Each structure stands twice: as structure tokens, then as C-alpha cells.
Chain A
Amino acid sequence: MWTFGRKIAAGFTLAFLLLTVIGAVAYRSINSLTTTSRSVTHTHEVLEQISEMLSLLKDAETGQRGYIITGDDSFLEPYRNAVDTMPKVVEKLRSLTSDNPSQQKRLEEATPLIQAKLAKLQQGIDLRRKGDLMQATRIIVGGTGKKIMDDLRALAARMEHEERELLGKRAEEVDLAAGGAQKTIIYGTLLCLMFITAAGLLITRSLSSQIGLAVKHVQSSSVELQATANQQASGARESSTAMNEITTTISELLATSRQIAESAQRVAHIAEETAQAARSGDQTVQMAHESVSAIKRHVDLIVTHMLDLGKKSQQIGGILEIINELAEQTNILAINATIEAAGAGDAGKRFAVVADEIRKLADRVGGSTKDIRTLIEEIRAAVNTTVMATEGGTKAVDLGARQFAEVTTSLKQITSLLKTTTEAAREIELSTKQQSRAVEQVNVAISDVARATRETEAGLSQTLQTATQLTGLSRDLTLLIQPTASA
């Protein structure tokens, strides 16, 4: 979207360009007119010099004839003047017609005729001065001078005719140049006026619409600003009330902070006493831990002995198996001995008795080994139970030792934590004191803020008035730009 400045600058730039073009064309036309006018003037000068040349010849002839008739030198004055001036006139004519070869050629033809004419006139004068009037008159009447004069007149007439033709052409060129300049000035001026009018209308219409739109925006914004200022004024009043409440609360908070500082001081003192008690407890627990370690060593020794006892009872069981097997084999041997004794008849009867006793003995040994095995199994079961109970005790002692270690660790941690707690309580005390000071500063700051809020409230009332005025100004500006939009 183009800004106002760009639009106005574009309009002026186009107008400037148009005026520049029109000025350039007019300058060119006037320059051409001037050049053509100079040519016309030049032609008039040539015509004037031609007339001057003929006039000088006439003056010279008139003076010569007067002198011849009267013999008075005073009649020779025109003649002398013509003789003196003629070279200058001829030279000027040559200079003026230097750009025209045909005129130069005619001038070349005329120059000897002029000299011849002046020579004839001088001859007559010389004769009259010698007193030979007749001879001098005869020269005049003879017609030679007239013929030369006629030739010169004819040449002058051709030169004049050509100059007249050039004059006509240059007059036409002057007319054409003057007409072009007039047309350029008239039409260019009209075109420029039309363009400036159109640009003015367009810019005016565009600016009116844009400014009108902007003014409407300003008007709506000022209305919104008015509403916002109203809300802010209301908010500022509420803030002022809240600040008063905050001031009261902070005063209470200040009193509470002081109480907390005192409590933190008491906590630090109690934590220090607790740390001393924890250190004492740590020593007690350390001694108990050493006692539990001694119990653990003894229990381990008991377990070792009980395991040895279990192993030895197992070894006894193995030996008992051997005894049982021996008893079984003895029984078999006794049975076989009985069988052999029976086969031996009477000779084997006493042997049969012994074998029978051995068998009985083996039977009773076998029974006894069963009893012993039962006893050993009971002992092994008791040992296993004892070992398990002892292991349970060992585990309990281990657990107790670990718990003592944990208790020791916990007491150390408690001591450390109590130290930390003491430091933290002191830091809390210091922090709370700092906090109290900070709260006092906050209280002061809040009072300042409350005062600033009241000032803000006053300022917002001023803003509200300004917004109302801005709304009115916007409406007035709208009426100025778009009178029909007042409705």
C-alpha cells in the first residue's frame, strides 16, 4: 500500500516530468524560431547591402555628372564617399553570402563591373578637370557607363530575387516554428493542467479514504482506550485496596517471621543437645556391637563343634553298619555251621550247640545294632536340630550384628544429620532474620506501590479524559474529511 508521501511525490514527479518535457519541446521550438529569425535578418542585411551597393553607384554617377556639368568639386562629395565605401560594401556582401555559392559567383561577376563603372566615372572626372567638357560629356552620352550600370542592376536584381526567395522560405520556417511552439505550449499546458487535476483528484480521493479509515480506527481505538482506561481505573482502585490489605498481611508476616527466628534458635539449641546424646548412644551401641561379635564367634565355635559331632555320629553309623554286617555274616556263618553240624551227625552236635549260640549272639548283636542305629539317628537328628537352631542363632546374631551396624550407621547419620539440622536451624534463624528485614523492606515497597497505585489511578482518570477528548477529535476529523459520514 502506498503511503501519503509516496502518492504525493509520485503526482509531483509526474507533473515535473510533464513540465520538463513541455519546456524542452518549447525551448526547442523557440530556438528553431530564433535561428530562423536570424536567417531572415541576415537576408534583410544582404538585401540592404545590395541596395546600398546600387545606391553608392548612383551617388557616384550623380556626383560625377554634377561635377562635369558644374565643374564644382563639391559635387564630387557623393562620388568620393561612394568610392571609399564601395569596397567595404562589396566585402560585407561577400562575407554575408559566404554560405551561398551562387551569390558569391554573382558578386564575382559584379566586382569588375563596379570597378569598370568607377573607372569610367573617374575618366569623365579627369577629363572635366582637364577642362575637356565635351569629351567628358561624350563619355556620358556614349552609353558605356549606362550599359555597365544596367548589367549591374540586372545582377543586383538576380541577387535580390534569390534573397527574396530565401526570405520567403525562411518566413515560412519562422511561421512553422512559431506555430509548433504555440501548439506545444498550448497543448502541453492543457495536458499538464488535465494531469495535475486528475492527479489531485485521485490523491485527494485516496487520501480522504485512507485518512478517513485511519480516523475511524483512531476513533474506535480511542473508544476502546476509553473503556480500557475505565477498567484500569477500576483495577487501580481494587489494586489500591488490595495493597492496603497486603500491607496489613505483611505486617502480620513480619511478626510471624520474628517468632520463627526465635523458634529456629530454640531448635538449633535442642539439635545440639540431641547430637551430644546421639554421640553417647553411638559409643554404647559400639560396645554392644563388640559384645554381639563375641557372641557370634562363640556361636560359630558351637556350630563347628556340633558339625564335628554330626560327622562323628555319621562315622559311628558307618562303623555300626559294619558291625551289623558282621553280625549278619556271623548269623549266616552260624546257620551254615548249624547246617554243616547237622550233616556231620553226632560228631557235630556240640559244634551245633556252639554254632547256635553264635547265631543267637549274632541275632542279639543285630538287634542291638538296630537299637544303636536308632539312638545314633536320634543323636544325629538332635545334632541336626541343634545345628539348625545354632545356625538360626548365628543368623540371628548376624542379623543383630548387622542391625547393630545399621544402628551405628544410623546413629552416625543421626549425628551428622543433627549437625546438619543444627546448621540448618542456624541458617533458618539467620534467613528468617534476613527475611524479617526483607519483609520490612517489602512493607515499605508495598506502601510505595500503594502510593504509586493511587497516583496511577489519578493518571488513569487523566487518561480517560484524554481518551474522551481523542474520541471527540476523531469525530471532528471525520467530519472534516467526510462530511457526509457524520450520520
Chain B
Amino acid sequence: MSNISTLDNVAAGLRDTFDRSYTLPPASAGIEQTENLLVIRMAGDPYALRVGEISGLTNNNQIVPLPGRTPELLGIAGIRGGLISVYSLAALLGYPREPNQGRWLALCGNENRVGLAFGNLEGYLRIAAPQVFAARQEDAVRGHVKEVAHTANQVLAIVNIPLVMEMIASRCGEKSTSSEKP
């Protein structure tokens, strides 16, 4: 019975919060001073993606495998009427492949959009900009991590999406070059 009363309180709180969001003035003053992050986890390590560096987020997409010698390329998926290439973010970061690694897709890029697949989304995080620091040498072991975000109980390595996209582009270039040479 106590659990049910707790749930009643939770529902009331949700209702109040939602209603209040329409009554309070917009908190636009602090928007520039915050960082919106998606907290993900790969091979047990916590990571963060900047919301501003991705163009969308989907889940439970059908990924069709493609033959090829690029182990990071999981295949292609149909998103909003178009086909995009899907890469394993864990593989791109140097982790071994994980089960259920294609559950979440972070859509990146504007013209040549690709999907970065990962298996576990822990939530949305908004932190103050000063809580983001440049990564130390030991944190920047992987070349695509330049910054870290300090939260109350953990340190999140922020994946630099543009660097990841450059790496994908460079690998695609190598492939195309190597395929043109003969």
C-alpha cells in the first residue's frame, strides 16, 4: 500500500512539474552556459555525446549488414525515407563488438549522414559549461576524446563527434583510394 501511495505522489509531482513548465517564464538566460549531453556506456565505460553535435536520435532500427572489409561498418538502415551507413561507435573507439550494439543510433552530419550505433543510453544530462574540462593525457588515450565532463559522482569522456566523422571519412577515403589503385 505504501508503494501505491508513493506512486500517487509521483504522479502528482509529474503533473505539477508539467503544468508549472507552462506557467514559469522561459529560462533562456542560462542556456548558453550549459552543456547538453547524452550519457552512454560502452563496454562498461561511461561516455557522453554532445547533443549539439548530433542531428538526431533513434532506436530499434533495422540494420542490414553489408559485405566489406571495414569491421566498424555494421550495415545500412532506413531513417526517415533515406538510407544511412551505420557504424559501431564502440568499434570506432577501439572496443570489441558488443551484443545489442545497434539498439541506439546517433545521427551525425548533415549531407552525408551516418549513424553511430551504441547499445546503452543512460540518459540526458545538462551540466554547467564550467564542468567541462580538457582531457588529461591519460584520459585522451583514444584520439577522439578531447574533453571530459565532471558530474557529481563520475567523470564522463566526451566523444568528439567531428573527429569521429573525420576518421570515418578518412577510412572511406582510404578504401576508395585503395579500391581505385588497381
Contacts and interface: CB of A to CB of B under 8 A. Distances in A.
A280 interface: no
Interface in B45-99: 51-52, 54-59
B26 A353 contact: yes
Interface of B: 3-4, 6-7, 10-11, 13-14, 17-18, 21, 26-28, 31, 36, 38, 51-52, 54-59, 123-124, 126
B11 A335 contact: no
Binding site secondary structure of chain A: helix
Contacts of A356: 126
30 contacts: A328-B59, A332-B58, A335-B51, A335-B124, A336-B56, A339-B52, A339-B54, A339-B57, A342-B36, A342-B52, A350-B28, A353-B21, A353-B27, A353-B28, A354-B21, A357-B21, A359-B124, A363-B123, A364-B10, A364-B17, A365-B14, A368-B7, A368-B10, A368-B11, A371-B6, A371-B7, A371-B10, A372-B7, A375-B3, A375-B7
A349 B52 contact: no
A352 interface: yes
B123 A349 contact: no
A331 B27 contact: no
Contacts of A338: 36, 51
Nearest to B126: A356
Nearest to B21: A357
A357 B21 CA distance: 7
A364 B14 CA distance: 7
Nearest to A361: B18
A112 B4 CA distance: 198
Nearest to B58: A332
B7 A363 contact: no
B14 A352 contact: no
Given A342-B52, A361-B17, A365-B14, A335 B7 contact: no
Among A339, A349, A361, A365, the most chain B Cβ lie within 10 Å of the Cβ of A339
Interface residues of A, number: 27
A50 to B, nearest CB: 178
Contacts of B36: 338, 342
Contact of A339 (B4, B13, B56): B56
Contacts, number: 63
Given A349-B31, A350-B26, A332 B57 contact: yes
A371 B4 CA distance: 10
A335 B57 contact: yes
Given A342-B52, A361-B17, 4 more contacts: A328-B59, A338-B36, A342-B51, A360-B17
A359 B17 CA distance: 12
A224 B53 CA distance: 137
Contacts of A331: 124
Contacts of B124: 331, 335, 359, 363
A368 B21 contact: no
A188 B63 CA distance: 150
Given A359-B124, A371-B3, A371-B10, A339 B21 contact: no
A349 B10 CA distance: 28
Contacts of A350: 26, 28
Contacts of A357: 17-18, 21
A328 B11 CA distance: 17
A331 B122 CA distance: 12
Interface string A364-392: 11001001100100100000000000000
Contacts of A360: 17
Contacts of A372: 7
A361 B17 CA distance: 8
Interface string A262-292: 0000000000000000000000000000000
A336 B28 CA distance: 19
A365 B14 CA distance: 8
Contacts of A353: 21, 26-28
Interface string A300-341: 000000000000000000000000000010011001101100
